[in-house]
Amino acid sequence: MASHTLSPFPDELLAAKKQIRERARSYGLDFFPVIFEMCDYEQMNQIAAYGGFPQRYPHWRFGAEYEGIRKRHHYGLGRIYEMVINNDPCYAYLQESNQLVDQKLVIAHVYGHADFFKNNLWFSQTNRKMMDEMANHATHVRKHIEKHGQDVVERWMDVCLSIEHLIDPHSMFMQRGPNDTPHEQPKRQESQVQRFKTKDYLDRWVNPPKALEAEAKKLKSERDKMRHATPSRPTRDVLLYLLEHARLEDWQADCLGIVREESYYYAPQGMTKVMNEGWASFWHSTLMTKHFVEAKEVIDYADHHSGTVHMPPGNFNPYKVGIELFRDIEDRWNKGKFGKEYEEADTLGEKKKWDKGLGLGREKIFEVRRVYNDVSFIDEFMTPEFIEKHKFYQYGRDPHTGQLRIISRDPQRIKQTLLYQLTNMGQPFIYVVDGNYANRGELYLAHKHNGLDIEIKFAVETLKNIYKVWQRPVHLQAKIDDDMILFSFSGDQPKQQTIHDDLPKPAHQI
């Protein structure tokens, strides 16, 4: 697909880009070089469908994504505004039909994202050469398709993608014991037996068949030993566990490894959506308002900026929540509205007027963008005053009239709901707790209850897909309505039962 010829960059825009970049630096933003590419409407849609990368492995979901984007665009329900890739250098795409004021806005916005990618802690372990790596993945998958056929490989990729969220983004930062496997999974090649490179006629002397055979046998028995190993403690990186212990063909393991690696690459973006969009919007708005909007453009700018950050009641817009939180933090730290003395101020009036003239706001927001993720950001900085000021209430539809109405103004409840949605990107926490359950080589998973029950449909679907990888019975333990339930799947009908004392216990509990 997009081995496209991109349009040249017009001079006027090139000059604007340089100015915006230098201005952004003068405010302390710090980023990898950013390469902007001009695309037409079709190219923009294509690249967007591929998650911003010109080269991805072949899979039907990218086609489906492309159709979705085109339809949304066609019916005017959404608009691709900006696309920027975490890589060194960063890549960003500009749609050539946009007006100049829009392009400037997007450029300023992109520098905000580029700074966030480089400096936010959660991105520190991501692969900064992902452009190359994605192209690499594409080559691998194409090779497997050539050998095993499109249908077989695509069906397998479907299975892998259906469980792509079963990773542990925190594991990137863990100090590991000597028995743990590091995060990077070396790619499995078609044959794991080492052959010494040699000229053909020498081959049978340097790699005598008997020795190769013995070596292959040894490898297989080592792998068989690994197969039923139970993790030394519950592990959330289910994909790694499967890679190491499931009965997979080499090409299958390679595909699963690719899906896992891409999942780790995207995870920090999912964990910082509010902050990252908030930060980029904070900077596009600061830079544009102060420096880059000419008088004749003001109306367009205001219009387009408010398009990005507008939030109708009942909708959660990460741009809007993020930008307002950063502004609020800056204001509070400028005025010293934090700490014990402030919290204990007697009256609302006193709190409102509070201003110690500390001027610490800018420094504080840079620190926040470095160390927080969405969950800790909202947990710590979304105050009741903030919710009240911006009317971030909980809305729902009235079942009789169909009208939107406020369900709750309770700041605790509103914040908690938001945190539930954002924790683990809305995905349940699933652990491998036993790889040889009841000594039968069955896989036992457990759902960690964080206040919300797992959806039964999700539990069953996940089990069915993991069964395709494990090829032995699989179980998932989950608390539903205060009962401990065991969901099981062994290839026919899914079963569920309340966990009772007669059932064998798994190796670990969570």
Angle between helices 100-119 and 361-371 (to 10 degrees): 70
Stretch that binds Zn ion, among 181-189, 275-283, 338-346, 370-378 (CB under 5 A): 275-283
Nearest distance in Å: CB 308, Zn ion: 8
Nearest distance in Å: CB 361, Zn ion: 22
| β partners of residue 36 | 92
Angle between helices 150-162 and 456-470 (to 10 degrees): 130
Contact 353, 374 (CB under 8 A): no
Enumerate residues 448-477 that contact Zn ion by CB under 5 A.
none
Nearest distance in Å: CB 12, Zn ion: 23
| Sign of the dihedral defined by the CA atoms of residues 13, 15, 18, 22, in that order | negative
202 CB neighbour count, 10 Å cutoff: 10
What tokens were used for 288?
Answer: 């544009």
Nearest distance in Å: CB 24, Zn ion: 14
Stretch that binds Zn ion, among 217-225, 280-288, 378-386, 459-467 (CB under 5 A): 280-288
- Residue 269 CA from chain centroid, whole number: 4
CA distance 433 to 443: 8
Nearest distance in Å: CB 82, Zn ion: 5
Identify which of 496, 498, 494 has the alpha carbon closest to the alpha carbon of residue 482: 498
Contact 367, 361 (CB under 8 A): no
Our CB check for Zn ion shows the closer of 53 and 489 to be 53
Our CB check for Zn ion shows the closer of 34 and 167 to be 34
Pairing of strands 34-39, 90-95: parallel
CA distance 454 to 420: 12
Q: Is 108 in the site for Zn ion (CB under 5 A)?
A: no
Our CB check for Zn ion shows the closer of 280 and 466 to be 280
What tokens were used for 206?
Answer: 């340097």
Our CB check for Zn ion shows the closer of 20 and 280 to be 280
Stretch that binds Zn ion, among 271-279, 297-305, 481-489, 491-499 (CB under 5 A): 271-279
Query: Total binding residues for Zn ion by CB under 5 A?
Result: 2
Residue whose entry in the numeric block shows the structure tokens 């452009």: 131
Of the residues 280, 288, 430, 474, which one makes contact with Zn ion according to CB under 5 A: 280
Nearest distance in Å: CB 110, Zn ion: 8
Our CB check for Zn ion shows the closer of 241 and 372 to be 372
Our CB check for Zn ion shows the closer of 83 and 463 to be 83
Stretch that binds Zn ion, among 37-45, 260-268, 273-281, 444-452 (CB under 5 A): 273-281
Stretch that binds Zn ion, among 31-39, 93-101, 272-280, 407-415 (CB under 5 A): 272-280
Nearest distance in Å: CB 319, Zn ion: 7
Nearest distance in Å: CB 32, Zn ion: 16
Contacts of 420 (CB under 8 A, 6+ apart): 450, 451, 452
DSSP H stretches of helix in 288-360: 298-309, 318-335, 340-343, 348-353
Stretch that binds Zn ion, among 278-286, 321-329, 393-401, 465-473 (CB under 5 A): 278-286
Our CB check for Zn ion shows the closer of 79 and 353 to be 79
Q: Which residue is nearest to Zn ion (CB)?
A: 280
Stretch that binds Zn ion, among 34-42, 279-287, 352-360, 388-396 (CB under 5 A): 279-287
What tokens were used for 333?
Answer: 């730290």
CA distance 378 to 202: 65
Nearest distance in Å: CB 265, Zn ion: 18
CA distance 329 to 337: 9
Identify which of 276, 289, 318 has the alpha carbon closest to the alpha carbon of residue 115: 276
CA distance 347 to 504: 59
Residue whose entry in the numeric block shows the structure tokens 């993608």: 161
CA distance 114 to 5: 24
Our CB check for Zn ion shows the closer of 111 and 487 to be 111
Nearest distance in Å: CB 484, Zn ion: 43
Stretch that binds Zn ion, among 145-153, 169-177, 277-285, 500-508 (CB under 5 A): 277-285
Binding site for Zn ion (CB under 5 A): 277, 280
